[in-house]
């Protein structure tokens, strides 16, 4: 297969981006590609190159690009108004749908991004408990706030519970307000929660951390000890919400937190996210109920805007239908099993990690159950694989494969063929080096 060719127009755009955008991009995937359009499980760049899309906008396009029912709902709303900075019917009905779907949700507050949702969820826990410290898990991603960017991807992990900043510009004082525990170590997590109970405002966790499934009993332990001590448990379901099941990871794993954050799928490809939780905690968004001292200020120009809300409602209506998830789980399993079989046959030190709806290859041998396990990965091998996949028309992020309900058998066939080519190249490279 011929590698994608770049047109003069795309080359010009890439050079313009380098001049007007820091690092030549929006801060997301590599800046060497400019996407023009998407349809179903595929996208096309401005040079006309076609890709099977496993990036999917970093997850929101769970139904694929330009789903006709979502597009129809959006096009019907746009002439009626795109934002009002006031309640609208669609936002209200979307909140009601979330309350019905998510076990922890009694009330909902909309924001525009997952980063905002996680930031406000942590602030909400502080307002409710009247304490400052949060406990998170090393490698967990909770957005771009100062608190979220602590010990997400430390290059030199320190001793628990010390937090390490992942970005310049984070005040040193913030580090002292975040405690860090290893993911999937229930015993240590419980010990740390009990030790710091008088300081803790809450515990925040991705119930499925990046690509890592929770170990049996891990989430249950977090729920048991936080409930016993009266500490809010926050599930960051920005990624997993409506992806693992209609009721999110909390339904999939059967563990109900006190608060959850949602994003990506609930906006149907438009900027929308939410904090959802128990009414006695969510009341801190209502000055009339908690007074000035307990009131949590939250204002967002585009929060709950009607275009995003109708896209979200249309998306959830589709996912609520019987059997809506069957195809995407089957497709994901086919790729996971195919990748694993090829890696095993080639005796490459790599393994497929994750869930059928969201997974990737970790280029490391041995058990990978927490962030430090992922640090053993051969990032150079990973980069080579991703370059080969791109050359064969597969678009994905560096370390995650998102599945959609729109991916077809032809998409999967092309992906498996591309992965076989990457395995063959790597095997040949290793043989030549011996």
For residues 397, 403, 404, 405, the Cα torsion angle rounded to the nearest 10 degrees is 170
- Residue 385: which H helix or E strand, with range? helix 379-391
> Of 212, 205, 263, whose CA–CA distance to 232 is shortest?
205
Average of pLDDT values for 231-253? Answer: 98
Catalytic (active site) residue 253: no
Among candidate residues 236, 258, 370, 411, the one labeled active-site is: 236
Average of pLDDT values for 193-203? Answer: 98
Domain around 266: 68-319
Asked if residue 1 belongs to a domain, the reply is: no
Cα separation, 91 vs 409, whole angstroms: 36
Residues 291 and 372 in one domain: no
Asked if residue 424 belongs to a domain, the reply is: yes
Average of pLDDT values for 355-379? Answer: 95
Residues 40 and 179 in one domain: no
Catalytic (active site) residue 413: no
Q: What is the pLDDT of residue 2?
A: 63
The strand order across the sheet containing 50-53 reads 35-39, 42-45, 50-53, 394-395
- CATH number of the CATH domain containing 145: 3.40.640.10
Residues 82 and 58 in one domain: no
Please give the share of the chain, as a percent, with pLDDT higher than 90: 95
Residues 309 and 340 in one domain: no
Among candidate residues 45, 246, 253, 264, the one labeled active-site is: 264
Average of pLDDT values for 295-301? Answer: 96
Residues 58 and 73 in one domain: no
Residues 300 and 341 in one domain: no
Among candidate residues 51, 120, 128, 141, the one labeled active-site is: 141
CB within 8 A of 277, min separation 6: which ones? 104, 105, 106, 107, 121, 124, 232, 257, 258, 259, 260
Question: How far is the CA of 384 from the CAs of 184, 376, 380, in angstroms?
Answer: 30, 17, 6
Q: What is the pLDDT of residue 158?
A: 81
> Of 183, 181, 207, whose CA–CA distance to 193 is shortest?
181
Asked if residue 37 belongs to a domain, the reply is: yes
Asked if residue 194 belongs to a domain, the reply is: yes
Asked if residue 80 belongs to a domain, the reply is: yes
Catalytic (active site) residue 133: no
Residues 145 and 282 in one domain: yes
What is the number of structural domains in the chain? 2
Asked if residue 337 belongs to a domain, the reply is: yes
Asked if residue 235 belongs to a domain, the reply is: yes
- CATH number of the CATH domain containing 41: 3.90.1150.10
For residues 29, 31, 35, 38, the Cα torsion angle rounded to the nearest 10 degrees is -10
Q: Is the peptide bond before 161 cis (omega within 30 degrees of 0)?
A: yes
User: By the 8 A CB rule, do 104 and 262 touch?
Assistant: no
* Whether residue 1 has pLDDT greater than 60: no
For residues 258, 264, 268, 269, the Cα torsion angle rounded to the nearest 10 degrees is 160
Cα separation, 88 vs 65, whole angstroms: 26
Of the residues 283, 303, 319, which one is the last residue of a structural domain?
Answer: 319
Residue with tokens 């119930």: 207
Q: What is the pLDDT of residue 132?
A: 96
Q: What is the tally of helices (H) and strands (E) in the chain?
A: 15, 14
Residues 148 and 289 in one domain: yes
Residue 322 DSSP SS3: coil
Residues 134 and 227 in one domain: yes
The predicted-structure confidence for 104-154, as pLDDT tens digits, reads as follows 999 999 999 999 999 999 999 999 999 999 999 999 999 999 999 999 999
Residues 13 and 124 in one domain: no
Average of pLDDT values for 313-335? Answer: 98
Of the residues 319, 340, 356, which one is the last residue of a structural domain?
Answer: 319
Residue with tokens 């899309």: 53
Let me know the angle formed at the C-alpha of 328 by 325 and 330, rounded to the nearest 5 degrees: 105
Residues 245 and 98 in one domain: yes
Residues 101 and 167 in one domain: yes
Asked if residue 206 belongs to a domain, the reply is: yes
Question: How far is the CA of 178 from the CAs of 113, 133, 148, in angstroms?
Answer: 22, 6, 9
Of the residues 295, 319, 343, which one is the last residue of a structural domain?
Answer: 319
Cα separation, 244 vs 357, whole angstroms: 7
User: Which stretches within 37-171 are classed as H helix?
Assistant: 68-77, 89-101, 114-129
């Amino acid at each position: 297969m011929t590698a994608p060719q770049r047109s003069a127009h795309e080359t010009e755009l890439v050079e313009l981006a380098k001049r007007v955008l820091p690092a030549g991009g929006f801060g997301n995937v590599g800046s060497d590609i400019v996407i023009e359009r998407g349809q179903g499980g595929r996208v096309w760049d401005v040079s006309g190159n076609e890709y099977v899309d496993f990036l999917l906008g970093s997850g929101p396009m769970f139904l694929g690009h330009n789903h006709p029912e979502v597009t129809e709902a959006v096009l019907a709303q746009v002439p009626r108004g795109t934002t009002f900075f006031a309640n609208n019917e669609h936002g209200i009905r979307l909140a009601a749908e979330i309350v019905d779907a998510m076990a922890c949700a009694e009330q909902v507050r909309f924001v525009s991004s997952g980063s905002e949702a996680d930031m406000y969820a942590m602030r909400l826990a502080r307002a409710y408990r009247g304490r400052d410290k949060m406990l998170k898990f090393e490698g967990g991603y909770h957005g771009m706030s100062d608190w979220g960017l602590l010990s997400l991807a430390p290059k030199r992990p320190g001793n628990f519970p010390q937090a390490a900043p992942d970005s310049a510009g984070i005040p040193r004082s913030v580090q002292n307000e975040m405690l860090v525990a290893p993911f999937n170590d229930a015993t240590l997590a419980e010990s740390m929660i009990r030790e710091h109970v008088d300081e803790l405002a809450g515990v925040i966790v991705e119930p499925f951390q990046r690509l890592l499934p929770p170990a049996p009993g891990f989430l249950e332990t977090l729920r048991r000890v936080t409930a016993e001590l009266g500490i809010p448990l926050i599930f960051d379901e920005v990624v997993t919400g409506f992806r693992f099941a209609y009721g999110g990871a909390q339904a999939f794993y059967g563990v109900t937190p006190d608060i959850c954050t949602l994003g990506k799928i609930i906006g149907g490809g438009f900027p929308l996210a939410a904090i959802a939780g128990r009414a006695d905690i969510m009341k801190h968004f209502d000055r009339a109920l908690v007074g000035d001292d307990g009131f949590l200020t939250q204002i967002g120009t585009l929060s709950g805007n009607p275009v995003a809300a109708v896209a979200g409602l249309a998306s959830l209506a589709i996912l609520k239908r019987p059997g809506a998830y069957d195809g995407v789980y089957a497709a994901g399993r086919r790729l996971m099993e195919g990748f694993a079989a090829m890696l095993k046959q080639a005796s490459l030190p790599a393994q497929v990690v994750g869930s059928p709806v969201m997974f990737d290859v970790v280029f490391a041998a041995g058990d990978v159950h927490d962030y430090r396990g992922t640090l053993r990965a051969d990032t150079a091998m990973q980069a080579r694989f991703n370059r080969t996949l791109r050359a064969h028309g597969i678009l994905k992020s560096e370390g995650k494969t998102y599945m959609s309900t729109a991916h077809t058998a032809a998409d999967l066939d092309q992906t498996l063929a591309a992965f076989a080519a990457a395995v063959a190249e790597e095997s040949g490279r290793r043989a030549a080096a011996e």
